[in-house]
Amino acid sequence: MSTITTLDSIERNLYQFGGPFLIAFGSIGSVLNVMVFTKSSLRKNPCALCLTGINIVNFLSLYLVLLPAVLVRGYRIDFSWKDLLICRFQFYIALVLACTQSSYIVLASIDRTLITSIDAHIRRISTQRLMMLNMFIIALFWLVCHIHALIHTQVLHIAPHSYVCFRSPGIYTKIMNYYSLLINGILPPLLMALFGLWTLKNVRAIRSMSNTARARHRTAYAVGRRYILHSKDHQLVRMLLLDIISFAICKCPSALVLMYEQCTQHIEKTPERQAIELSILLITYFLYYIENGISFYTNIFISKTFRREIRDTLRIHLLL
């Protein structure tokens, strides 16, 4: 069996069997996450508010971006090339959702860095109102910023009776390749790593200043008064850090493939090599969306508080 055949088989099986599984379990997980983060005990927490936004974006990504890819790659069903509006909308919404999700994770990372500071003045910056405003501005910015995708995406005729929905060839495609690599591949992991490490540093500083360790909170003295890092805030830090790790693991392979393509774009490639690279890109594209569907399950794994909250939530709804 040739390399092309093997990769094509892996790619098709991923989308045909893994795709519906990921969409189903990811949808359930996103809904349950939202139910927990919008409970009265967490609703006013800025980080929980941001995590709610992340899960809503994840849910939309599974159906508006991953599902069309599953139909095309797994079941050879493609409607996008038949309608230019559908074609352009798919590219536009994929860009918007990808950038919004990564921006929200960075925003949540910043909030955790603020709330774990030993300086009370810095902690006061973290508020529900400011978080809602920032989330609205970020979503609006990416919606406006990517309007160009509604103009420069075309249905391309690549072979007899063969069409594909893709960006307009030429300088626009080259610019967008570098843009995607920077905005989706390089900047988000770097910012998440920066604020994640900063948060860990803050948590260690709180621990080192702690005088007592209680069942539901940790204490430290800062700016002339005792600072309490509540258990729920501590658990949110842990969940967010695991989300950052999942993001890096799932998103970075596609970024590496894009980086490789940019480095080799001027090299003449055989049709076989082009087919292999396309299959690898599509496999990493599937891996890219695994992170959108596993947040709920990583939260259950890492957080005792989250397990208790989801148990209580399910009990209440089942009784109703």
Q: How many residues does the chain have?
A: 320
Query: What one-letter code names the amino acid at 283?
Result: I
CA 37/CA 308 separation, integer angstroms: 13
Q: Are 314 and 44 in contact (CB under 8 A)?
A: no
The values of phi and psi at residue 168, to 5°, are: -60, 130
pLDDT (tens digit per residue) in 7-35 = 889 999 999 999 999 999 999 999 999 99
E strand map for 103-203: 153-159, 162-167
> What are the chain's domains?
3-205+229-319 (1.20.1070.10)
Q: Are 142 and 96 in contact (CB under 8 A)?
A: yes
User: Where on the phi/psi map is residue 224: left (φ > 0), alpha (ψ -120 to 50), or beta?
Assistant: left
DSSP 3-state of 23:
helix
CA 193/CA 176 separation, integer angstroms: 25
Query: What one-letter code names the amino acid at 250?
Result: C
- Give pLDDT tens digits along the chain (320 positions): 578 889 889 999 999 999 999 999 999 999 999 999 998 878 889 999 999 999 999 999 999 999 999 998 899 887 776 788 898 999 999 999 999 999 999 999 999 999 999 888 999 999 999 999 999 999 999 999 999 999 999 887 665 666 778 888 889 988 998 898 899 889 999 999 999 999 999 988 887 776 444 444 444 444 444 455 667 788 889 899 999 999 999 999 988 888 888 888 888 888 888 888 888 989 999 999 999 999 999 999 998 888 888 988 888 777 65
- Which tokens is 243 given? 């989300």
pLDDT (tens digit per residue) in 150-196 = 999 988 766 566 677 888 888 998 899 889 889 988 999 999 999 99
CA 290/CA 270 separation, integer angstroms: 31
Strands 225-230 and 217-222: antiparallel
Rg of the Cα atoms in the chain: 22
Burial class (CB within 10 angstroms; exposed 0-12, middle 13-18, buried 19+) of 27: middle
CA 52/CA 164 separation, integer angstroms: 35
User: Where on the phi/psi map is residue 198: left (φ > 0), alpha (ψ -120 to 50), or beta?
Assistant: alpha
Cα 121 to the center of its chain, rounded Å: 30
pLDDT at 271: 83
Q: Are 258 and 185 in contact (CB under 8 A)?
A: yes
Q: Are 142 and 100 in contact (CB under 8 A)?
A: yes
